[in-house]
């Protein structure tokens, strides 16, 4: 194959600072001449080990995925990458990419996704670099990439025709090998090593049990079909919306009560399935439902931790648990009972990486529908679903019974998140400032039955490398453990999103059946009194309540 390597002059873009999960922008922004190329060259420049090394490459299949992959392959060749492992059709879920990066001891991976944000020519695209441990690049590395992108003067790209991404196998392009691999195989093998596939198969053989998995026309379709339907024998049709589409069927591929409403309705009707689950655009989030029952992500983490001994991959015991700060304290109670460490980190999966690498934690979870373990270094939607399925198979109880039984043992942490999406950035900032201004004065203040024990701006010191992350959310902690947290989203692409997280522990089983919003109404009122979110934003209600 003839190939010419070009050195293309370029100038920096001022907006290439990676956010919570890499660089996310509208497709139109990514399509500007040199935009993607600058960022990718910055990655190659600050990761010299990629030269002569192996790179994993794939994405969630959204609009621009294939085009971006072709560009990156041409640049990988020009930058001396020895081998690129590409998911067939350009498809790799985020956890599957993490699995490949680790399994084949590569020098890292580029994952193309804007996660749960909508896809299409007018919508979002994203790219992030994962390090050889399989996890999202830590702040130090994203900082270096950003710095490099700010001073870039040229990039290198090879002139070669588009490569075939659809046929598994190896192609040699000049000195580089491109290995197109089945997107699912290695990931499915990893799942088989963790879960009891025989018992789960037996569960699907009982005609008493049925499940629906909503792939939301996003990346998990092929993974869920292969694992649930082909390997575990779930009847065809168990996986809904299983065909990945470039625009996710015009949906919003975020597995929550609002965006996965079709699935939720199915589970909340009479005689619906026993178990329901969904995953997001790139397959790292999960939502778990039972019949007439929604499991909060915070409870899910706690239940998985308390039941880990039922699952082969964790039967020897778990080392520790980590949760993001706004996630409820349900998992802390489990860790305490098990006598293991529990860590509270800032929002963002990358903060779990060091703890897992150091062998301090096995399970991690976030309220934002993320749960996973140290089998990869990303959150893993389908893993959480299989974990639940394994539990259901072993315990032979319903989802609701398992969670209620958990509450009886540990008490219930009533939990809700109120999102004010797409608000004016200055107004959101004003509400945050109002809280910030009161942090010192709040201590000791009484609001009805609640007395403030402590109020602060959350900062985290990584126990492994000592790095410090400040300004990670405003916390109002009450005596007895109730909490309010105020935080600005780090992932939105339009205006600002203000999040209010509310929780309260209830020990009395007689009160565990209460409605969450009612059980938390007094605290929600206190939050408004403290922050004046509705006054500042002019919104009478949150846009999303989970």
Q: Binding ligand G6P by CB under 6 A: which of 490, 509, 513, 525?
A: 490
| Three-state DSSP state, 188 | helix
Both structure tokens of 454 = 């402590």
Nearer to ligand G6P, 93 or 210 (CB): 93
With CB atoms as reference, the residue minimizing the distance to Zn ion is: 115
Q: Does 93 bind ligand G6P (CB under 6 A)?
A: no
Burial (CB < 10 A; 0-12, 13-18, 19+), residue 528, is middle
If the CB atoms of residues 74 and 285 are measured against Zn ion, the closer one turns out to be: 285
Q: Which residues contact 140 (CB under 8 A, 6 or more apart)?
A: 467
Find out whether 90 and 59 touch, Cβ atoms under 8 Å: yes
Task: Round to whole Å and give the CA distance between 187 and 490.
Answer: 29
Q: Is 115 a catalytic residue?
A: yes
In the chain, the N- to C-terminal Cα span, in Å, equals 54
We find the least distance from the C-beta atom of residue 491 to ligand G6P, in angstroms, to be 4
The CB-nearest residue to ligand G6P is: 489
Contact status: 124 vs Zn ion (CB under 5 A): no
Residue 298 binds ligand G6P (CB under 6 A): no
Select from 262, 9, 361 the least CA-distant residue to 153.
9
Cβ closest to Zn ion, residue 284 vs residue 462: 284
115 binds Zn ion (CB under 5 A): yes
Residue 75 burial (CB < 10 Å; 0-12/13-18/19+)? buried
**Taking CB under 6 A as the rule, does residue 370 contact ligand G6P?**
yes
Residue 282 engages Zn ion in binding (rule: CB under 5 A): yes
Half-sphere exposure of 435 (CA within 13 A, CB side): 32
- Work out what residue 117 binds among ligand G6P, Zn ion, none; the CB cut-off runs from 5 to 8 Å by kind: none
- Please identify, using beta-carbon distances, which residue of 41 and 324 lies nearer to ligand G6P: 324
Could you tell me which stretch among 61-69, 234-242, 465-473, 484-492 binds ligand G6P (CB under 6 A)? 484-492
Which listed range, 107-115, 158-166, 287-295, 436-444, lies at the site for Zn ion (CB under 5 A)? 107-115
Q: How would you label 222-257 residue by residue, b for 16+ Cβ within 10 Å and e otherwise? A: bbbbbbbbebbebeeebbbbbebbbbbeebbbbbbe
Alpha helices in 49-138, H assignment, sequence order: 65-78, 94-103
Q: Name every residue whose Cβ is closer than 8 Å to that of residue 269 and which is 6 or more positions away in sequence.
A: none
Q: Which of 115, 324, 368, 373 is catalytic?
A: 115
Q: What is the CA radius of gyration of the chain?
A: 23
Count of residues interacting with ligand G6P (CB under 6 A): 14
Rank residues 226 and 377 by Cβ distance to ligand G6P and give the closer one. 377
* Token code pair at residue 67: 């085009």
Instruction: Out of 214, 280, 374, 419, point to the residue binding Zn ion (CB under 5 A).
Output: 280
Q: Is 489 in the site for ligand G6P (CB under 6 A)?
A: yes
Residues 347-366 that bind ligand G6P (CB under 6 A): 347-349, 366
Q: Which is nearer to ligand G6P, 123 or 366 (CB)?
A: 366
Task: Please identify which residue in 113, 115, 345, 427 interacts with ligand G6P, judged by CB under 6 A.
Answer: 115
Provide the binding-site residues for Zn ion, judged by CB under 5 A: 115, 280, 282, 284-285
- Annotated active-site positions, please? 115
Per CB under 6 A, residues contacting ligand G6P are: 20-21, 115, 324, 347-349, 366, 368, 370, 489-491, 499
């Amino acid at each position: 194959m003839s190939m010419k390597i070009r050195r293309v002059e370029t100038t920096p873009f001022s907006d290439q600072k990676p956010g919570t999960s890499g660089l996310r922008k509208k497709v139109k922004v990514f399509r500007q001449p040199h935009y993607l190329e600058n960022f990718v060259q910055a990655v190659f420049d600050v990761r010299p080990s990629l030269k002569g090394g192996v790179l994993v490459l794939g994405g969630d299949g959204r609009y621009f995925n294939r085009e971006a992959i072709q560009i990156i392959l041409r640049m990988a060749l020009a930058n001396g990458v020895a081998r690129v492992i590409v998911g067939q059709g350009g498809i790799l879920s985020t956890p599957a990419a993490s699995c490949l990066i680790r399994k084949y001891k590569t020098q890292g991976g580029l994952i193309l996704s804007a996660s749960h944000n909508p896809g299409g020519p007018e919508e979002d695209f994203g790219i992030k670099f994962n390090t050889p441990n399989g996890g999202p690049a830590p702040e130090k590395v994203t900082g270096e990439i950003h710095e490099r992108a700010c001073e870039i003067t040229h990039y290198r790209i090879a002139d070669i025709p588009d490569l075939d991404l659809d046929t598994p196998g190896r192609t040699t392009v000049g000195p580089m090998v491109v290995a197109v691999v089945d997107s699912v195989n290695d990931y499915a093998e990893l799942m088989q090593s963790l879960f009891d596939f025989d018992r789960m198969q037996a569960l699907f053989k009982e005609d008493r049990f049925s499940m629906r998995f909503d792939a939301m026309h996003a990346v998990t379709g092929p993974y869920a079909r292969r694992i649930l339907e082909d390997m575990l024998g779930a009847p065809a049709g168990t996986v809904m919306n299983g065909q990945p589409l470039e625009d996710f069927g015009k949906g919003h591929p975020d597995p929550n009560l609002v965006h996965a409403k079709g699935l939720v309705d199915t589970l909340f009707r009479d005689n619906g399935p026993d178990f329901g689950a969904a995953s997001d655009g790139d397959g790292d989030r999960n939502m778990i439902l039972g019949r007439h029952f929604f499991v909060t992500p915070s409870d899910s983490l706690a239940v998985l931790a308390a039941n880990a001994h039922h699952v082969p991959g964790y039967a020897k015991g778990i080392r520790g648990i980590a949760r993001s700060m706004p996630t409820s304290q349900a998992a802390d109670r489990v860790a305490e009972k098990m006598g293991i460490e529990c860590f509270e980190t800032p929002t963002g999966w990358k903060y779990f990486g060091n703890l897992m690498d150091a062998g301090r934690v096995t399970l991690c979870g976030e309220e934002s529908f993320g749960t996973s373990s140290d089998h990869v270094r990303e959150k893993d939607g389908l893993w959480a679903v299989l974990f639940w399925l394994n539990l259901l198979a072993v315990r032979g109880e319903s989802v609701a019974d398992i969670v209620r039984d958990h509450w009886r043992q540990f008490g219930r942490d009533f939990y809700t998140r109120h999102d004010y999406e797409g608000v004016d950035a200055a107004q959101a900032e004003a509400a945050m400032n109002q809280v910030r201004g009161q942090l010192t004065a709040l201590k000791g203040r009484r609001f009805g039955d609640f007395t403030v024990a402590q109020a602060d701006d959350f900062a985290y010191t990584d126990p492994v490398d000592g790095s410090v992350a400040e300004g990670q959310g405003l916390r109002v902690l009450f005596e007895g453990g109730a909490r309010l947290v105020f935080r600005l989203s780090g992932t939105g692409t339009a205006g600002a999103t203000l999040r209010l997280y509310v929780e309260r522990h209830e020990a009395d089983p007689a009160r565990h059946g209460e409605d969450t919003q009612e059980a938390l109404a007094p605290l929600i009122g206190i939050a408004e009194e403290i922050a004046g979110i509705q006054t500042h934003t002019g919104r009478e209600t949150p846009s999303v309540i989970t």
